[in-house]
């Protein structure tokens, strides 16, 4: 199928995001999957804002966050919470469902941050810029697929071109302490030179299980704060010859230092 035909098939299957890169629209838990509806910036806001079923923090447009120091890098804009939580057992898969995703280049990461218990406001009352975020999942340039510009990134590899949604599964750590959390999925797209695009989306989780673990504080990052805007992985021209030759998938941007 030609690219044009593939695109047409895709667009007819995904009318809500017909003109752009896509976004994190829904979540599923377990197998067979139980679906949880997220926010849809193309749908009527008043039918979504504050609804009792809303598990995702509001993202009013599909536009990216362009600055690593923008407060909205935490949970997108405006990031207003809904009252609901996705129930998940520690050790289960949580899958982020994108109706589609079109950008090909840059790392993807998933994060958690613990919230106070429900009687202290849960995740609804928190300041997402003050939370202690720790990373539970990451993927970049897939090793062995080629150089920076020509290799295959997970961001491209997770895309489907048959009209079915793009699925990004991540395991909730099996020994994680039970409680309320915000999960934050971030796609960082670096296909435009020196102009990184951050696509964060957040949802509320109610994690159950016998676990008692949280990472040590050395794992924690703030958003903003986790990324240095001058990091060479953000201010990057992936099309420059020098960069294509020298770039190895940069785990520093994926914040692996905590290992």
Taking the complex as a whole, the smallest distance from the CB of residue 202 to Cu ion amounts, in Å, to: 19
Taking the complex as a whole, the smallest distance from the CB of residue 188 to Cu ion amounts, in Å, to: 12
Write out the H or E segment, with its range, that includes residue 4: helix 3-13
Are residues 161 and 190 in contact, defined by beta-carbon separation less than 8 angstroms?
no
- The residue (of 196 and 211) whose beta carbon lies closer to Cu ion is 196
Taking the complex as a whole, the smallest distance from the CB of residue 137 to Cu ion amounts, in Å, to: 22
Q: Is 21 in the site for Cu ion (CB under 5 A)?
A: yes
Cis amide prior to 78 (ω within 30 degrees): yes
Question: Among the candidate windows 18-26, 36-44, 111-119, 211-219, which touches Cu ion by CB under 5 A?
Answer: 18-26
- The residue (of 77 and 221) whose beta carbon lies closer to Cu ion is 77
- The residue (of 21 and 37) whose beta carbon lies closer to Cu ion is 21
Biggest alpha carbon–alpha carbon distance for the chain: 56
Per-residue buried b or exposed e for 160-180, using 16+ beta carbons within 10 Å of the residue's own CB: eeeeebbebebebbeebeebb
Question: Among the candidate windows 14-22, 115-123, 141-149, 249-257, which touches Cu ion by CB under 5 A?
Answer: 14-22
Question: Among the candidate windows 11-19, 20-28, 47-55, 77-85, which touches Cu ion by CB under 5 A?
Answer: 20-28
Contacts 24+ apart (CB under 8 A), 237-243: 237/193, 237/194, 238/105, 238/148, 238/149, 238/190, 238/191, 238/193, 239/149, 239/193, 240/193, 243/148
* Number of residues counted as binding Cu ion (CB under 5 A): 1
| Lookup: tokens for 158 | 């997770």
Taking the complex as a whole, the smallest distance from the CB of residue 62 to Cu ion amounts, in Å, to: 7
Question: Among the candidate windows 21-29, 113-121, 228-236, 251-259, which touches Cu ion by CB under 5 A?
Answer: 21-29
Question: Among the candidate windows 13-21, 90-98, 132-140, 142-150, which touches Cu ion by CB under 5 A?
Answer: 13-21
Taking the complex as a whole, the smallest distance from the CB of residue 190 to Cu ion amounts, in Å, to: 12
Q: Is 191 in the site for Cu ion (CB under 5 A)?
A: no
- The residue (of 36 and 100) whose beta carbon lies closer to Cu ion is 100
Q: Residue 105 CA to chain centroid, in angstroms?
A: 14
Residue with tokens 């290799």: 151
Taking the complex as a whole, the smallest distance from the CB of residue 79 to Cu ion amounts, in Å, to: 19
**What CA–CA distance (Å, rounded) separates 193 from 106?**
12
SS3 154: helix
Residue nearest Cu ion, CB atom distance: 21
Give the footprint of Cu ion on this chain (CB under 5 A): 21
């Amino acid at each position: 199928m030609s690219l044009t035909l593939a695109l047409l098939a895709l667009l007819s299957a995904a009318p809500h995001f017909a003109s752009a890169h896509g976004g994190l629209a829904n979540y599923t838990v377990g197998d067979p999957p139980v679906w949880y509806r997220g926010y849809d910036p193309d749908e009527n806001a008043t039918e979504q804002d504050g609804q009792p079923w809303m598990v995702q923090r509001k993202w009013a447009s599909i536009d990216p966050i362009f600055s690593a120091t923008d407060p909205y890098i935490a949970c997108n804009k405006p990031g207003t919470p809904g009252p609901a939580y996705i129930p998940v057992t520690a050790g289960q898969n949580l899958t982020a469902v994108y109706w589609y995703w079109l950008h090909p280049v840059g790392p993807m990461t998933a994060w958690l941050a613990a919230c106070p218990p429900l009687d202290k406001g849960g995740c609804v009352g928190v300041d997402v810029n003050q939370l202690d975020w720790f990373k539970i999942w990451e993927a970049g340039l897939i090793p062995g697929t080629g150089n920076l510009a020509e290799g295959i990134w997970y961001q491209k590899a997770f895309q489907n071109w048959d009209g079915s949604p793009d699925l990004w599964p991540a395991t909730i750590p099996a020994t994680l302490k039970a409680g309320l959390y915000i999960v934050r999925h971030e796609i960082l797209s670096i296909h435009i030179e020196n102009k990184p695009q951050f696509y964060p989306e957040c949802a509320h989780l109610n994690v159950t299980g016998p676990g008692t673990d949280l990472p040590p504080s050395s794992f924690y990052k703030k958003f903003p704060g986790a990324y240095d805007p001058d990091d060479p992985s953000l201010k990057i021209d992936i099309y420059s010859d020098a960069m294509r030759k020298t770039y190895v998938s940069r785990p520093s941007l994926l914040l692996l230092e905590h290992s």
